Structure 1
Amino acid sequence: MDPTLFTLKLGWTGMLLGVVSGAIMGLFFHRENWLGGYGSHTRRFLRLGHISFFGIGLLTLFYGFSLAPLGIAEPTARIGAYAFAIALFGMPLTCTLTAFTKSARHLFPIPVAAATVGILITIFS
């Protein structure tokens, strides 16, 4: 698949997953002590995972919109697209795992590094 089309579809998928995950969590927000209360570790990390779908989804969309104007061509464009895919799914997954297993926080460098690769490709290609 063309990297531009791939990243645009991927970015919009992130938006959809952000809406769906927020709607699911929203079913329980009225319970003050849900998952230990608003400030609990579990609830904070689930919220962070939910919002990361939007944030990284936007980065992915911006990448897709930037490929042609910046002249980022194959295979570099594909590497960036895959990097953003890893970040888009890896960050919410790591946040969710960390919400329930604190040692999973050691996985954060994976989606962070992936997003960094995508951003660096955008800047320096």
Structure 2
Amino acid sequence: MTEINLYAAWIGMLLGGILGAVQGLFFHKEEWLGGYGSWQRRMMRLGHISFFGIAFINIAFTFTAKSLNIEQEVPLPSALFLIGAIGMPLICYLSAFKKPIRHLFFIPALSIIGGIMSLLWIIYKY
């Protein structure tokens, strides 16, 4: 079950690297996307880094489940971490250009929090 989280982690790192490289082609332009402190540029930076941050969570989850031999017990945290891995960068990039989408940030944030809490509960039970 946790293999999908490992794949998602490495795909997320790849996408984070690619999108970071693309964004890096323009960072030297002071007014690109409204300047360094603009909403668009901040959201794109957050989206780029969220690929890596949530990838590390998915890697830690995978190795935790494997090392504790609880892989069969973790479908809920697995799914929640995948929702976060897809949702957070997606919502960051979309909200960079459509500001009202920022109201959806609670979905990936609560998914990650719920994944951590459910994993801790499973670990606690064992």
The TM-score normalised by the length of structure 2 is 0.90
Provide the secondary structure at the position in 2 that maps to 1:99.
helix
Where structure 2 has 5 or more consecutive residues not aligned to the other structure, the ranges are none
Can you list the C-alpha shifts for 1:26-77, whole angstroms capped at 9, x where unaligned?
A: 1111111100011111100000000000000100110000002334343x41
Inter-partner Cα distance in structure 2 for 1:58 and 1:88: 10
2:14 maps to a residue whose letter is L
Within a 5 Å distance, the mapping from 1:14-33 to structure 2 comes to 14-33=12-31
Within a 5 Å distance, the mapping from 1:77-116 to structure 2 comes to 77-116=74-113
Detail structure 1 runs of 4+ shifted over 6 Å in the superposition.
none
1:123 to 2:117 alignment: no
Share of identical aligned residues, percent? 47
Inter-partner Cα distance in structure 1 for 2:67 and 2:16: 28
Can you list the C-alpha shifts for 1:1-20, whole angstroms capped at 9, x where unaligned?
A: xx221111111111111101
Question: 1:117 Cα shift?
Answer: 1.7
On the 8 A contact 2:80/2:112 being kept in 1, the answer is: yes
Can you list the C-alpha shifts for 1:70-109, whole angstroms capped at 9, x where unaligned?
A: 34343x4122111111101100111112111111111001
Inter-partner Cα distance in structure 2 for 1:60 and 1:97: 23
Question: 1:121 Cα shift?
Answer: 2.1
RMSD: 1.2
On the 8 A contact 2:2/2:71 being kept in 1, the answer is: no
Inter-partner Cα distance in structure 2 for 1:4 and 1:86: 14
